[in-house]
Amino acid sequence: MTKVLLIPFLLTVITGSAQLKGFGFGPFVEAAWPTGNFKQLNKNGIGGGLGADIRLGKAGLTGSIGYMHFGGKTIYKENKSVEMASISAIPIRAGIKYRLVPALYAKLEGGMAKFTGTNESAFIFSPGIGIRILGLELQAKYEIWTKQETYSFLGLKAGFNF
């Protein structure tokens, strides 16, 4: 009788483990190099956060939440130096990724960047390409944050997924 009750329990545990195998999460750090007008006003950025992904065959779903900071530059206007404000934000992204070959993938994410110290936010659009070997991940991306003005940057993201 005990064996009969144990079999459904073991099947449930094994099935649950198989489903979790396609799920990964972990910390990441990222560096950003502003482009366009953003480059004229702000320094390079740095950030970090927590990301997750669900693998569904060759495709997958991604999500992340983090913190990014871009220092302000000193610019010179009409023989005066003007200190530009730094920008800090909490980006929340979700998207899809597609494995091109076993370790190489392309991804497309969107979301919102909530600027700290204000009630403002911007829409995020971010295509990229990455490599994932075991739990280590390295990703190159181009990211655009759009509100009244546009902030764009090239980024490099490194992380580990459990």
DSSP-based three-state secondary structure for 57: coil
- Is the pLDDT at 6 greater than 50? The verdict is no
What is the token pair recorded at 46? 């740095």
Range 23-160 classified under CATH 2.40.160.20:
yes
Least confident of 3-17, 83-97, 108-122: 3-17
What is the pLDDT, as a whole number, of residue 21? Answer: 62
**Whole-number Å distance between alpha carbons of 81 and 71:** 16
Distances (CA, A) of 64 to 26, 50, 142: 10, 6, 16
**Whole-number Å distance between alpha carbons of 45 and 124:** 16
Q: What is the pLDDT of residues 18-42, one digit of tens each?
A: 444 689 999 999 999 999 999 999 9
pTM attached to this predicted model: 0.83
